[in-house]
Chains A and B, each alone.
Chain A
Amino acid sequence: MKDIELLNYTKQEMQAYAIAKLIQEDQIVIVGTGLPLIGGSLASRVVQPSCHLIVESGLMDCNPIEVPRSVADNRFMAHCTVQWPNVRFVGLEINEYLHGQRRMIAFIGGAQIDPYGNVNSTCIGDYHHPKTRFTGSGGANGIATYCNTILMMQHQKRRFIEKVDYVTSPGWVDGPGGRERAGLPGDVGPQAVVTDLGIMKFNDETKKMYLAYYYPYSSPEIVQENTGFEIDVSSAVEMDGPSDEVIRVIRDEIDPLQIFIKPKTRK
């Protein structure tokens, strides 16, 4: 295991690279701001140039020059193909499913996640009297209903827990058949969880999260230590870090103002 301080990239850059690697040919990628946008931009520029970036505000096929701060930012709006009202975005997402197309992949972030990939972005504690209140669903619930998703989390014990305080975006609900029983499409759902420590996937049989990849600076042991439930790490393999060219594109082209990707601090 390598010391992150001695590598020429940061954990955020590794995470953005991991996101980009999960995007497949010709996919329509629903990105939010922050790391998913950096990862999506990296995919469209270097790793998977055939993908299309869209955002829940209704802007289609975005190709921003400067990194946007929100999904409705002028930086998206001035550099996209179509400016749709939100309802068209929702309609597209749903019809994509109804027509049997599976071109979309979407990113969702959250504060808590359980072994089945159910995500909470609403509150910590009791819903009516929360200890901490967050934004609420935004577009996440709709995305989790109809699209295959990649979940983005910081890998901490208090975030990876057996039962989330509020299910904002359903994952595989309570296991096999759970989505169908809840009235959700059963053949789409969370595909992976990308964290600063590794990439988790979901077991086809049990629908439970397992560790698929860890990074050059992490290990299966570190992942288990930072996960609040038992996680299968038996099939985990190490993923290579980003190349110098990928690091250069992130730093010089995608986020030169360091809005989301913070520079490596020298100690």
Chain B
Amino acid sequence: MAAASKIMSMQEAVSRFVQSGDTLSFSGFTTNRKPYAAVHEILRQGQTDFTLWGGPAGGEQDLLIGEGRVRIFINCYTANSGFSNVLRRYRAAIEQGKILFEDYSMDVVMMMFHAAALGLAFLPIRLMQGSDLVNMWGVSREVRANEPTLDNEKLVIVENPFSPGEQVVALPIPRIDCAILHVQQASPDGTCVIEGDEFGDVDMAVASRKTIVTCEEIVSNEYIRRDPTRPRIFGACVDAVVHAPYGAWPSQCYGYYDDDVDALREYDSASRYYDAEDAARVLQAEALKKGTVYDPEKQVETFVDYLEKYVYSVPDHAALLDKLGAARLIGLKNVPGLGYAASVE
């Protein structure tokens, strides 16, 4: 009997499986295999109030934070490395006190995803001791008590039952409502091929209540079974399969394309300012500090402009690809045998 197809449009996948208030996590690593196309659709549909497990977070999470869609951000590292060494809307949200946030180390967050995938009760580690990652809580015990998506404790110091006297850090297990992954290939039954490093993605797919997969290519259930050494995610872990070529743009997708240097640089400079009013305020202050003259006529691109250009002015991902244009996208293609776009400046 043929398995039911999980293929659906991005609109349907996001509206069915992403609800306001959900706890989310995303695939990839800073500027590699980030599920931007799905994030763009969430932005268009309007879901909000997320608890977001950042992992090695990139610009896709900065978009959601900048738009005020994230209520609680579990941070370990948030950068478009080499372009925005600290992502700017994330930074502004914390500096301006607009977001609840918590910090763990990246090793620890990845181990927490892994512990969730293993179904563990809690995670005992020796990491983070002697640092403020243990001493300082981003979200206090009092606030946590009223936050259903968070455990009551950031961590608990316990004695190792197998080594009396040794103190270790016990951590709660993340409860992810929806994991959103961008992968290279998927079949209608949800089986996924990830090329290159899987990062924490397989753990997320197993641990999350629902998983949306967007992919460069949809291949048949029969084709994906021809070489069982390639698939990394069992189809039963996946709820929706969405065809989204260049769905990680402007980040990289191993074996397919490189990062879009122009777009990442554009985002770095646009995300300095939330909107025109913010830009005027910041530029005026900078001019005053430098002793130069502020020119109110000078237009700069802002975060809001960037979103309008690449997200809100287009109805869907296909329209974004048309807007970017074939030549630009083909220019990002990896050179076989080299693994990246050699023509990139």
Contacts and interface: CB of A to CB of B under 8 A. Distances in A.
Contacts of B108: 141-142
Contact of A78 (B29, B131, B135, B254): B254
Contacts of A57: 29, 56, 197, 199
A122 B103 contact: yes
Contacts of B113: 87
Nearest to B87: A135
Contacts of A70: 29-32, 79, 81-82
A135 B90 CA distance: 9
Nearest to A70: B81
Interface stretch (B42-50, B122-130, B284-292, B306-314): B122-130
B322 interface: no
A179 B114 contact: no
A260 to B, nearest CB: 9
B120 interface: no
B177 interface: no
B196 interface: yes
A127 B132 contact: yes
A46 interface: no
A206 interface: no
Interface residues of B, number: 62
A72 B29 contact: yes
A263 to B, nearest CB: 15
A267 B109 CA distance: 48
Contact of B130 (A56, A140, A167, A257): A167
Given A141-B128, A141-B131, A128 B199 contact: no
Contact of B339 (A78, A127, A167, A168): A78
A118 B86 CA distance: 21
Contacts of A259: 82
Contacts of B31: 69-70, 72-73
A122 B94 CA distance: 11
A142 B91 contact: no
Interface centre among A78, A87, A135, A139 (most CB of B within 10 A): A135
Interface stretch (B15-23, B70-78, B211-219, B239-247): B70-78
A75 B339 contact: yes
B180 interface: no
Interface string A80-108: 00011111011001100000000000000
Interface of A: 33, 56-59, 65-66, 69-75, 77-79, 83-87, 89-90, 93-94, 122-123, 127-142, 144-145, 166-170, 173, 178-179, 182-184, 257, 259
Given A136-B77, A144-B131, 15 more contacts: A65-B338, A66-B340, A78-B196, A85-B199, A87-B113, A133-B94, A137-B105, A141-B127, A141-B128, A142-B108, A145-B130, A170-B129, A170-B131, A182-B130, A183-B130
9 contacts: A33-B81, A69-B82, A70-B81, A85-B198, A136-B77, A136-B78, A141-B133, A145-B126, A170-B131
The 6 closest A-B pairs by CB, nearest first: A78-B339, A69-B82, A182-B130, A70-B81, A72-B29, A142-B107
Interface of B: 28-32, 56, 75-79, 81-83, 85-86, 90-91, 94-95, 97, 103-108, 110-111, 113-114, 126-133, 135-136, 138, 166-168, 196-200, 202-203, 252, 254, 258-259, 334, 338-340, 342, 345
